[in-house]
Homo-oligomer: A and B are copies of this chain.
Amino acid sequence: MVLLGRYVIRLSKLTDYAVVMLSYMAAREGEVYTTARLAQRSAVPEPTAAKILKSLARGSILVSQRGSNGGYELARPAAEITVAEIIVALDGPIALAACVEGSSDHCGVEQLCSMRGNWNRVNRAIRDALEDITLADMAVPFVAPAVVETRPEQGLR
């Protein structure tokens, strides 16, 4: 059977929180933010915020400065940070199921392997979609621009 490995798209709370914090940081690039401050501003409990920030730093989305006066800073301009990267930093590679390029596991049902390439196609489609959207796209100005409340299906792009 198809023997799934690690790979399932699984974006969640943490990722969502991350975007909230990153958006806040994007407001003034070049500034250094401490964990405490970011936790406060985003309403994420501090230990959790710390965990997220560490992951983002490991993923080269933030650069960290240790020691006093330390903190985090965006590693690049917001427009160059993609949602895909953020997800990868927190949830690991973006893929749906096994039978993924690079996965070495191989299912026992050789006949079905032909499907392999097709999942990859799906994966690539999603990855592309996610790579097209940057933090700058997410981080619209914080002065909430009258969010339409009723079924906002309209054209935000």
Give residues in A with beta carbon < 8 Å to B: 1-2, 4, 8-13, 15-17, 19-20, 23, 42-44, 83, 96-98, 101-102, 108-122, 125-126, 128-130, 132-133, 137-145, 147, 151-153, 156-157
Contacts of A16 in B (CB 8 A): 2, 4, 96-98, 119
The reply to whether A152 and B120 form a contact with Cβ atoms under 8 Å apart is: yes
The reply to whether B15 and A2 form a contact with Cβ atoms under 8 Å apart is: no
CB < 8 Å neighbour of A121 from B118, B121, B139, B156: B156
Q: List 28 A-B contacts (CB under 8 A).
A: A1-B42, A8-B10, A10-B10, A11-B97, A12-B97, A13-B97, A15-B97, A16-B98, A19-B115, A20-B112, A20-B115, A42-B109, A42-B112, A43-B109, A83-B122, A111-B144, A112-B144, A113-B147, A114-B142, A115-B139, A117-B140, A119-B138, A120-B156, A121-B157, A122-B129, A122-B133, A126-B129, A129-B129
CB < 8 Å neighbour of A8 from B11, B115, B145: B11
- Shortest CB distance A149–B (Å): 9
Contacts of A118 in B (CB 8 A): 133, 137-138, 140, 156
The reply to whether A20 and B2 form a contact with Cβ atoms under 8 Å apart is: yes
- Shortest CB distance A15–B (Å): 7
